[in-house]
Amino acid sequence: MIVDFRPHARLRGRAPVDLDKAVTPVVAALSAEEADLGRIRVVCDWVQYRENFRDVVDFRPIMADSPGTDENLEIAVDVRRSQDVALRELTIRQLHDDVVGRVFLEDWVPGRDSRIWDFNALYWSALECWEKSTGRGYEQALPGGESDARNRETVRELISELFGMWQPLAVSGALPEELYVIELGVGDGNQAKVFLDEFRDLDRTGGHDYYRRLHYLMCDYSQHVLDLAQETVVEHSEHVSSFAVDATKVRATLGFLRHKVFLVYISNVYDNLPTDEVAQLAGRSYLVEVRAYLPADSAAFIAESVSADPHELPALVHKLLRLGPVLLTEAASSHFTDIDAAVEFWRQIWSSLRLQERYVPLGGLDNYQLAPSINGEIVRSLLESGSDIRMQVNNGAVASFVDCLALLHPLGKLVCHDLFVTELPDYRTSFRGPGKYDGSVVNWVNGQLLAQVGQREGFEVRYAPFSHRNGGNIVTMTAVARD
């Protein structure tokens, strides 16, 4: 049996984790139940998200390569919550098949295809309903209470860099007439407004005449969000265009800008795009498959609150995700008297939602399509970088990144503020998602993978702590053409 205690740092400090409490009850339960200990690995994480998709103890089958071969088993313990529960009893219950009574909302799927991403999409499309229900805006739910892209000093630095790049091009006659800037994920438009205000002011001060040539493209998944954002930047309307864009398929809409864009500006988007997780365990590569479910007691409680049986919940959830809370009141009026009731149902389901996981062998990395133009070979060196590892591959972010790089002018730059894992060993010591941020999903972004992808596309990718806020986890990624 292997015991992999990942959050080493928690063993020291002012309030160290009690290793006895975190691990011993699990091992004792397994010993008492005569489980095949040679086929078991116990992994301990510190799940920092108060709202997440895990139970204190989760069992994860490690599927065999071929029929007739026995499965192995991973037992995952959330150390943060394990200290104050009857861990031994929880483990024994799981050993005796505690899945009875769970209400599954989907069949086994790769992480990126899970229902949780439908919830995520619903959050952004019905944000107004959610915010009304919780009484706070989504930006207040962010760690700093404000999107990082609004920091004026950061924006001014970016614009100054652009002007510095354009000046020699203008002198040599190589500066295009149209100067394109793209913002991906526009929120309420204030990020764009800050950029445009500062751009106009710095242009006036410098006497460049760049503002007249500027085309600022606001891109967002939601037309509704874009409409609101347009109102925010109305004084710059001659220089702003809006595009409803799926962040993972940027080129489908903006392909006409190939090699023309000087700046792609992204803030807190990548951590919110669908992702798979892959793992290397005992020299073999696995894809993590998941199955969203509601625990039995939660399902019973929620079902009763909407005058339904637990077995009706998957259909109601499906309707919620397809129609949104407003139309749900019409489609299932016997369960929801008004929109508030539908939103409450949504919030309760979301809060209770868990993910069951299993490891499925990857037949060959090249058979695993990570993004439209990238197969799993790109992660080989990361997976084979040492001892066992499990990590996000951020399929949505990688697809978005590759598409955006293709739009960049030869001297263009991509700037992205997000939650990045910049060092591979961090995956062996820290839990990096998925977690719940308000009504959305959050996964840290695999910085080493994006660096590798960028390198293969001809870019140098650098990471630095976000320089205009002390503390916090936000990292700034920049990508510029290399060589």
Q: What's the closest the beta carbon of residue 367 comes to another protein, in angstroms?
A: 13
Q: Segment contacting another protein (CB under 8 A): 193-201, 207-215, 352-360, 456-464?
A: 456-464
**Minimal CA–CA distance to 183: which of 217, 232, 222?**
217
Amino acid residing at 258: R
Which runs of consecutive H residues, i.e. helices, occur in 260-338? 296-305, 313-331
> Which residues, in sequence order, are bridge partners of residue 289?
110, 358
**C-beta of 16 vs 176, nearer to another protein:** 176
Q: Which residues of 349-367 are buried (b: 16+ CB within 10 A; e: fewer)?
A: bbebbbbbbbbeebeebee
Residues 247-276 that bind another protein (CB under 8 A): 259
Per CB under 8 A, does 458 bind another protein?
yes
**Minimal CA–CA distance to 260: which of 174, 354, 344, 149?**
174
> Which residues, in sequence order, are bridge partners of residue 446?
421
**C-beta of 283 vs 410, nearer to another protein:** 410
Residues 25-54 that bind another protein (CB under 8 A): none
Q: Segment contacting another protein (CB under 8 A): 51-59, 308-316, 347-355, 451-459?
A: 451-459
Q: Contacts from 31-34 at CB under 8 Å and sequence distance 24+?
A: 32/92, 33/92, 33/95
**C-beta of 201 vs 366, nearer to another protein:** 366
Q: What's the closest the beta carbon of residue 407 comes to another protein, in angstroms?
A: 11
**C-beta of 128 vs 384, nearer to another protein:** 384
Report the interhelical angle of 313-331 vs 339-352 (nearest 10°): 160
Residues 409-428 that bind another protein (CB under 8 A): 409-410
Per CB under 8 A, does 93 bind another protein?
no
Selected from 38, 164, 173, 471, the binder of another protein by CB under 8 A is 173
Which tokens belong to 324?
């949104």
Amino acid residing at 372: P
Residue 145, C-beta contacts closer than 8 angstroms, at least 6 positions apart: 139
Q: What's the closest the beta carbon of residue 413 comes to another protein, in angstroms?
A: 14
Q: Segment contacting another protein (CB under 8 A): 204-212, 339-347, 355-363, 450-458?
A: 450-458
Per CB under 8 A, does 283 bind another protein?
no
**C-beta of 150 vs 215, nearer to another protein:** 215
Q: How far apart are CA 31 and CA 23, in angstroms?
A: 12
**C-beta of 299 vs 374, nearer to another protein:** 374
Selected from 48, 190, 430, 455, the binder of another protein by CB under 8 A is 455
Reduced to 3 states (helix: H, G, I; strand: E, B; else coil), residue 481 is strand
Which runs of consecutive H residues, i.e. helices, occur in 207-334? 223-232, 250-254, 296-305, 313-331
Residues 175-194 that bind another protein (CB under 8 A): 176
Q: How far apart are CA 55 and CA 434, in angstroms?
A: 13
Per CB under 8 A, does 481 bind another protein?
yes
Q: What's the closest the beta carbon of residue 174 comes to another protein, in angstroms?
A: 4
Residues 384-413 that bind another protein (CB under 8 A): 409-410
Report the interhelical angle of 127-134 vs 339-352 (nearest 10°): 90
Which runs of consecutive H residues, i.e. helices, occur in 356-473? 380-383, 395-407, 447-456
- Number of alpha helices (DSSP H) and beta strands (DSSP E) in the chain: 16, 23
Residues 343-372 that bind another protein (CB under 8 A): 366
Selected from 174, 244, 252, 464, the binder of another protein by CB under 8 A is 174
**C-beta of 204 vs 259, nearer to another protein:** 259
Per CB under 8 A, does 170 bind another protein?
no
Contact set with another protein (CB under 8 A): 172-174, 176, 259, 366, 377, 381, 409-410, 455-459, 481, 483
